[in-house]
A = this chain, B = another copy of it.
Amino acid sequence: MSRFDPLPPTTLFKALESATCDEPLPATKALLDAAKFNADGLLPAIAQQHDSGEVLMMAWMNREALEETLSTRRVCYYSRSRGKLWRKGETSGQQQALVSAALDCDGDTVLVKVDQTGPACHTGRRSCFYITLDSEKAAIDSEPLIDPATLYKKS
């Protein structure tokens, strides 16, 4: 039981702003009831390599994907293009083992710290964020670790 349990979902994240590290919180189920999935039922999910801190990618999770991620400890997204759950690495083998997950202050974004096998990016690069920009010029900042043709080869 926590002092937040009686609150309606609409006010929960606001109330949690004053929560401290040592007090009991509502169960994960209640947090997910209150989380602000967008009009398509999705939250942006940022994947970060847990030890190096590298931001690997951003994708989307529906509630089912987030619940599966938390229960299996293997990261599962929702593919907007395919319209179904996407267990990261199911085709490429480049899985993400979950280390920790956190919602943000207003409950509309999730950060997953992961242990990424090989490259996170479908191009074979470690991170998807490889196109650097300044006000005038752009550049590529990393090369593929693996030829992407080998990641998605027909078997």
Binding site for B on A (CB under 8 A): 16-17, 19-21, 23, 25-28, 31, 44, 46, 48, 52-55, 57-58, 67, 70-71, 100-107, 109, 111, 121-123, 125, 128-143, 148
Contacts and interface: CB of A to CB of B under 8 A. Distances in A.
A16 B140 contact: yes
A100 B129 CA distance: 11
B57 A104 contact: yes
A111 B137 CA distance: 16
Could you say which of A44, A100, A123, A140 has the most chain B C-beta atoms within 10 Å of its C-beta? A140
Could you say which of A20, A44, A131, A141 has the most chain B C-beta atoms within 10 Å of its C-beta? A131
A138 B21 contact: no
B27 A136 contact: yes
Counting every copy of the chain, the complex holds 2
Contacts of A106: 128
7 contacts: A23-B140, A25-B140, A28-B136, A46-B46, A48-B55, A102-B129, A105-B121
A102 B131 CA distance: 5
B143 A21 contact: yes
B25 A46 contact: no
Contacts of A21: 139-143
A143 B101 CA distance: 17
A55 B55 contact: yes
Given A27-B138, A102-B129, A107-B131, 5 more contacts: A17-B123, A31-B131, A55-B55, A57-B104, A101-B133
